[in-house]
């Protein structure tokens, strides 16, 4: 949920009259909640594969958006949407085969013990529903999250998303734990620190008379700063929470659908068994589809006692898009490609680290990578302004990335799964040049 907002008078001068008029119309029609990426906003008009094109026909390598994950306007997804939209698009109170075929295929990507799926339209709705289910199941309200978490924009989730900014006040039923930051804590300390923090959070909730309901964790701690490893660091904390009766909700909205390479789902890298898993962003390659998967006992208890109907959730067009995405990931072997290209990128970033003192740490799993920029490696002082300049320099050079972390000093690199080695090379060369431009700290 990190963003690079605002632009200076100097930037405004570089905008065309048309771009300025678009920005004025945005402000007049949509208001100030709508913020733009980059100091010089990008006017997108077309997408194809790993590329976005602006109104001047310039192309940009998309190394950030994990919605159009199998490639912008992938022909199989477009075709599935077009065909189904012309045939039938209605709700789930009638019998339909498409949703069942898709549900079966989707559940097939999970461990067998996760037997049920429910469909929503957004990751926010999925996390919101997961929270309702966890509270129903446990009878508790308490939720444990990481300190700079992002889980969604509904009322209940925004207050569990400190990364949304200073306007967010943590509710009485929430406790935060340190994100598993191997760079600062040391790789050998991450698991024990997380477990101890979760232990303390549970104890503190109980001491305040609040029954804990859920441990809610992003599959790769994206907004906290991208923390993929060491793989397995979740196991102790999750086991502890589950032993204490909490449900573990794995938020895979960002890390799911083959992105982390080694596994189809981010949690699998840690050898843990979530009670509920929430899905979103890349699920329909742009079509608004999301949902959750869970243990039958947990999902059914809620479903028997409380009605839940999501008008557009699981509609035939969204399911057709979701099905096409799964088919493409399988047929184009995108999980293996995410693993291989991710490894290649990580090695390349390691070489850049040797050349650029600004890089304090490189890390990643598959095609979800973080590059932490620091003022110097000894103090690990965050280089926030430099990160911002690198992101914008990359954009000027035609490569799209963003920044993450409480201080936005971590380059967030999240290429489309369709990335090839040549795209990785272009990304690395461009980052090298951008770092040269921004200079040593």
Q: Contact, 373 vs 383, CB < 8 A?
A: yes
Give the shortest CB-332-to-a copy of itself separation in angstroms.
Answer: 19
Give the shortest CB-348-to-a copy of itself separation in angstroms.
Answer: 26
List the interface residues with a copy of itself, window 299-318 (CB under 8 A): 299-300, 302-315, 317-318
Binds a copy of itself (CB under 8 A): choice among 61, 63, 81, 424: 81
Give the shortest CB-311-to-a copy of itself separation in angstroms.
Answer: 6
Of 404 and 428, which has the nearer Cβ to a copy of itself?
404
Q: Is the dihedral of CA 342, 191, 412, 363 positive or negative?
A: negative
Of 173 and 363, which has the nearer Cβ to a copy of itself?
173
How far is the C-alpha of 420 from the C-alpha of 97, rounded, in Å? 35
Residue 172 contacts a copy of itself per CB under 8 A: no
Q: How many chain residues touch a copy of itself (CB under 8 A)?
A: 102
Residue 411 contacts a copy of itself per CB under 8 A: no
Of 158 and 407, which has the nearer Cβ to a copy of itself?
158
Give the shortest CB-306-to-a copy of itself separation in angstroms.
Answer: 4
**Sheet containing 51-54, strands listed edge to edge, beginning at the edge strand earlier in sequence:** 51-54, 59-62, 399-400
Of 116 and 337, which has the nearer Cβ to a copy of itself?
116
How far is the C-alpha of 169 from the C-alpha of 166, rounded, in Å? 8
Q: Contact, 140 vs 202, CB < 8 A?
A: no
Residue 113 contacts a copy of itself per CB under 8 A: no
Give the shortest CB-297-to-a copy of itself separation in angstroms.
Answer: 10
Give the shortest CB-113-to-a copy of itself separation in angstroms.
Answer: 14
> Which residue reads 């992101």 in tokens?
391
**14 CB contacts (<8 Å, ≥6 apart)?**
40
Helix (H) or strand (E) holding 363: strand 359-365
Q: How many CA atoms lie within 13 A of 60 on its CB side?
A: 27
Q: What is the DSSP pairing of strand 247-251 with strand 142-146?
A: unpaired
List the interface residues with a copy of itself, window 184-243 (CB under 8 A): none
Q: Build a one-symbol-per-residue string for 266-305: x at contacts with a copy of itself by CB under 8 A, - elsewhere.
A: --------------xx---xxxxx------x--xx-xxxx
List the interface residues with a copy of itself, window 60-79 (CB under 8 A): 65, 67-68, 72-73, 75, 77-78
Q: Contact, 114 vs 291, CB < 8 A?
A: no
Binds a copy of itself (CB under 8 A): choice among 22, 196, 231, 235: 22
54-85 burial, b for 16+ CB within 10 Å, e for fewer?
eeeeeebbbbbbbebbbbbebebbeebbeebe
Of 76 and 389, which has the nearer Cβ to a copy of itself?
76
Which CA distances in Å does 205 have to 112, 144, 170?
Answer: 33, 9, 13
Give the shortest CB-361-to-a copy of itself separation in angstroms.
Answer: 26
Q: Contact, 114 vs 295, CB < 8 A?
A: yes
Of 43 and 377, which has the nearer Cβ to a copy of itself?
43
Give the shortest CB-75-to-a copy of itself separation in angstroms.
Answer: 8
Give the shortest CB-405-to-a copy of itself separation in angstroms.
Answer: 16
Token pair for 255? 């890390």
Q: How many CB atoms lie within 10 A of CB 319?
A: 27
**122 CB contacts (<8 Å, ≥6 apart)?**
152, 280, 288, 290
Residue 323 contacts a copy of itself per CB under 8 A: no
Binds a copy of itself (CB under 8 A): choice among 19, 244, 262, 333: 19
Q: Build a one-symbol-per-residue string for 140-169: x at contacts with a copy of itself by CB under 8 A, - elsewhere.
A: -------------xxxx-x-----xx-xx-
């Amino acid at each position: 949920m990190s963003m690079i907002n605002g632009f200076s008078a100097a930037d405004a001068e570089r905008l065309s009259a048309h771009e300025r008029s678009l920005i004025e119309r945005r402000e007049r029609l949509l208001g100030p909640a709508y913020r733009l990426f980059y100091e010089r906003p990008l006017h997108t008009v077309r997408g194809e594969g790993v590329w976005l094109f602006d109104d001047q026909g310039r192309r940009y390598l998309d190394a950030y958006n994990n919605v159009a994950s199998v490639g912008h306007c992938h022909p199989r997804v477009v075709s599935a949407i077009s065909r189904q939209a012309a045939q039938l698009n209605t709700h789930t109170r009638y019998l339909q085969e498409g949703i069942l075929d898709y549900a079966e295929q989707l559940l097939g990507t999970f461990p067998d013990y996760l037997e049920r799926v429910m469909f929503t339209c957004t990751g926010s709705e999925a996390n919101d529903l997961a929270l309702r289910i966890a509270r129903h199941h446990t009878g508790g309200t308490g939720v444990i999250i990481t300190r700079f978490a992002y889980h969604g924009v509904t009322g209940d989730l925004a207050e569990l998303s400190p990364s949304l900014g200073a306007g967010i006040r943590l509710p009485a039923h929430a406790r935060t734990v340190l994100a598993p930051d191997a760079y600062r804590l040391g790789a050998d300390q991450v698991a024990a620190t997380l477990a101890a923090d979760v232990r303390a959070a549970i104890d503190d909730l109980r001491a305040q008379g609040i029954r804990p309901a859920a441990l809610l964790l992003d599959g790769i701690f994206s907004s906290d700063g991208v923390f993929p490893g060491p793989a397995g660091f979740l196991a102790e904390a999750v086991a502890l929470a589950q032993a204490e009766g909490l449900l573990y909700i794995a938020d895979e909205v960002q890390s799911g659908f083959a992105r982390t390479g080694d596994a189809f789902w981010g949690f699998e890298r840690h050898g843990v068994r979530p009670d509920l898993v929430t899905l979103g962003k890349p699920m329909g390659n742009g079509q608004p589809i999301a949902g959750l998967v869970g243990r039958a006992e947990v999902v059914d208890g809620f479903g028997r006692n409380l009605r839940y109907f999501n008008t557009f959730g699981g509609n035939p067009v969204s399911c057709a898009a979701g099905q096409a995405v799964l088919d493409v990931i399988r047929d184009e072997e995108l999980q293996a490609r995410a693993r291989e290209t991710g490894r290649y990128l990580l090695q390349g970033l390691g070489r850049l680290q040797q050349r650029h003192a600004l890089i304090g740490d490189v890390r990643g799993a598959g095609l979800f990578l973080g590059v932490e920029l620091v003022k110097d490696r000894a103090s690990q002082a965050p280089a926030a302004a430099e990160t911002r300049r690198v992101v914008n320099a990359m954009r000027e050079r035609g490569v799209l990335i963003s920044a993450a972390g409480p201080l936005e000093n971590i380059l967030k690199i999240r290429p489309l799964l369709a990335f090839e080695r040549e795209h990785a090379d272009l990304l690395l060369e461009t980052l090298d040049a951008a770092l040269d431009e921004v200079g040593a700290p």
